[in-house]
Structure formats: structure tokens, C-alpha cells
């Protein structure tokens, strides 16, 4: 008996005409195009976030392998121990190639300047690779709210037209267009906020990677110019804990 009453009540309840699908249908081509653009923005943002994050994580792991690199007899032997996709190996090979080609030059350019320039170009190339997609994230973060605002303006415009045709601002005439405008605003914010967070997150990690690359490049340059006499100093050992103070005698 109870199930029959619930079923009858469900059948008698009016259908919801103000959902997301209804808003898209009522908004027409403009609303559907706006949502499609937002979907492309969102998919692209998360794709860039995860792919760039994976690349950065791989570089951080490769940096941990540099301890064994500096223990090698020569730079060439150390580079052979690194992964072929490691940017640190690219820097070493660029330095070795620059050192080898310097002897073929006819002018009097100093070896230091020539090698330093080659290492800097390699660093810039790696940085440019890691920065791929970040302009897209910045664009999405800055334009998605305005794309959503465009949908909001269209929804309000449709609400005003409905009011003009009906001659009164009844809730059944304006609820649909106003609800559509609010949905567009919410979608714009939902797309823009993750894009801005992803941009700042990836940018901070890229900055840290650039610091590591610059330091490693300077070490390679010093090694080459000193013919292997200068190597990075070993990390300082942690200071020993001070001995506990003697207990004061009780009175």
C-alpha cells in the first residue's frame, strides 16, 4: 500500500523544467556553444596540468641521480650514467661539444664565454619545453569568467524578452533564462579557478627546476674550465646536537 502511494505521488509530481539540460535547450546555440568552449578549456587545462606535472616529477627524480654522476672519472663517463631523456645529460653533452668545437674556431673568443653560451642555450631550450601549455592556462584563467559572463548576459537578455512578451515579471517566465545565466556564471568560475591554480603550481615547480639547472650548469662550467679540478662540494654534515647541560644540584 505504501509503495502504491509513493508511486502515485511520484507520477503526480511535476517535471523539473529548470535543470541543466533544459537550460542548454532553452539557451539555444549560444548557450550550447558557450558550454562547449568551457568544456574545451577545462579538458585542456587538466591535460596540461597532468602532463607537465609528470615531466617535472621525472626531472626531480633525475636530479637525485646526480650524486653518482659526480663520482665518475670524466664528464663523458658521468653523462653515460644518466638517462638519455635527462635534461642534465643534455647540459653535459652541450658543454662537452662546446669545449670540443672551441678549438676549431679561428677567432680569439675565450673558452669560458663559448661554453657558457652553449650551456645557457641548452637551459633556455629546456625551460621553453617545460613552459609549454602554461600560456594556455593563463589564457583560460583570465578569459573563462568573461566567456561565462557572456552566457550570463544572453540569459538576462532572454529573461527581459520573456518579461516584455508576457507583460509581467512572473517567476515562470524568468526562472528559466535567469537560471541559465547563473549556470553560465558558475561554469566560468569552475573552469577559471582550476586553471589559475594549475598555472601557479606549475610555474613554481618550473622555477625550482630552473634553479637546479642553473646550479648544475655552473658546476659543469667550472669542471670544464678547471680540467676536472673543481667539483661540487659535498653537502655539509648536520651539526651535532649539543650535550645536555649538567643538572643543577638541589639546595
Is the overall model pTM greater than 0.85, yes or no? no
Q: What is the pLDDT of residue 137?
A: 95
Q: What is the pLDDT of residue 16?
A: 45
> Which backbone phi and psi does 133 adopt, to 5 degrees?
90, -20
Residue 146: how many CA atoms within 13 Å on its side-chain side?
5
Answer whether residue 183 is part of any domain.
Answer: yes
Please, where are the H alpha helices in 65-170? 66-69, 75-81, 87-102, 111-130, 134-166
Answer whether residue 3 is part of any domain.
Answer: no
- What pLDDT, in 10s, does the model give residues 22-57? 655 665 677 778 888 889 999 999 999 999 999 999
For 110, residues 6+ apart whose C-beta sits below 8 A from its C-beta are none
Answer whether residue 6 is part of any domain.
Answer: no
pLDDT at 79 over 70: yes
Grid cell at residue 125: 631550450
Q: What's the domain count of the chain? A: 1
Answer whether residue 214 is part of any domain.
Answer: yes
Domain range enclosing 221: 18-225
Q: What is the pLDDT of residue 226?
A: 80
Answer whether residue 64 is part of any domain.
Answer: yes
Q: What is the mean pLDDT of residues 58-77?
A: 86
Answer whether residue 31 is part of any domain.
Answer: yes
Q: What angle do CA 138, 195, 27 make, to 5 degrees?
A: 100
Amino acid at each position: 500500500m505504501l509503495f502504491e502511494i509513493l508511486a502515485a505521488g511520484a507520477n503526480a509530481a511535476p517535471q523539473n523544467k529548470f535543470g541543466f539540460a533544459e537550460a542548454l535547450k532553452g539557451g539555444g546555440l549560444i548557450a550550447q556553444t558557450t558550454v562547449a568552449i568551457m568544456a574545451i578549456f577545462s579538458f585542456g587545462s587538466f591535460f596540461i596540468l597532468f602532463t607537465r606535472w609528470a615531466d617535472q616529477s621525472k626531472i626531480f627524480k633525475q636530479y637525485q641521480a646526480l650524486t653518482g654522476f659526480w663520482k665518475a672519472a670524466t664528464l663523458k663517463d658521468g653523462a653515460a650514467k644518466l638517462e638519455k631523456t635527462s635534461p642534465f645529460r643534455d647540459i653535459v653533452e652541450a658543454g662537452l661539444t662546446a669545449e670540443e668545437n672551441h678549438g676549431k674556431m679561428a677567432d680569439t673568443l675565450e673558452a669560458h664565454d663559448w661554453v657558457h653560451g652553449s650551456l645557457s642555450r641548452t637551459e633556455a631550450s629546456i625551460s621553453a619545453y617545460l613552459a609549454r601549455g602554461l600560456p594556455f592556462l593563463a589564457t583560460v584563467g583570465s578569459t573563462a569568467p568573461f566567456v561565462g559572463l557572456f552566457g550570463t548576459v544572453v540569459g538576462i537578455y532572454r529573461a527581459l524578452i520573456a518579461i516584455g512578451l508576457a507583460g509581467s515579471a512572473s517567476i515562470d517566465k524568468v526562472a528559466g533564462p535567469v537560471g541559465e545565466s547563473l549556470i553560465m556564471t558558475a561554469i566560468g568560475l569552475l573552469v577559471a579557478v582550476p586553471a589559475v591554480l594549475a598555472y601557479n603550481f606549475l610555474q613554481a615547480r618550473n622555477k625550482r627546476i630552473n634553479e637546479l639547472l642553473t646550479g648544475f650548469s655552473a658546476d659543469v662550467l667550472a669542471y670544464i674550465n678547471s680540467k676536472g679540478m673543481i667539483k661540487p662540494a659535498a653537502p655539509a654534515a648536520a651539526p651535532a646536537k649539543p650535550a645536555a647541560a649538567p643538572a643543577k644540584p638541589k639546595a
